[in-house]
Homo-oligomer: A and B are copies of this chain.
């Protein structure tokens, strides 16, 4: 993407007061995008947005509002709510997503057994989003396994981002957001492949637990992208 990204694209981060959402919002605000932090509780979103502006010494137009307002005003909408709020949040912003891209970060974790892959009947959270939103919204899935601790710093993140999506164009646009966040992304194919991206989080939680780590991630090897 060339030129000033803030003119081109407004990004909404629904559930943007959570740790993952706040970290991603920070990275995009830092890259110059106009970022809308959304929350069920607008006051919390306003507070998080103010924190991000402060972290960037005032050099950001990030603002907070309700999830619905954020979805209405954005060109691209990123969903970072816990799986328990996935369907409810999507249904509440459905009409606002017409003609837009939804980037789903959700992992369908069962809290009592987070180390075991347990997908919803649709096959993955991203496919469930597709079923809820219908054909007028393009869906991508990405950013599932990025440790939020890294995102709020300038640290190098030693974890690649796999991106699936309902169309090649959707994946390409999402990969631009990955790059804007300072991360390395890979086109991981059609939306049906989302089970791998989401389930990898369960696998990495298992690895963290067994090998006494907190930030297990993955890197793609054997490919020279450039």
Contacts and interface: CB of A to CB of B under 8 A. Distances in A.
Nearest to A223: B213
Most buried by B among A159, A189, A211, A220: A189
How many protomers of this protein does the assembly include? Answer: 2
A214 B206 CA distance: 29
A225 B199 contact: no
Contacts of A225: 211
Contacts of A202: 189, 193, 196
A117 interface: yes
A118 interface: yes
Given A187-B206, A187-B207, A203-B188, A159 B222 contact: yes
Interface residues of A, number: 41
Contacts of A206: 187-189, 193
B210 A221 contact: no
Interface of A, secondary structure class, is: mixed
A162 B202 CA distance: 13
A207 B161 CA distance: 12
Given A115-B189, A206-B187, A207-B186, A158 B222 contact: yes
6 contacts: A116-B190, A211-B225, A216-B223, A217-B220, A217-B221, A218-B221
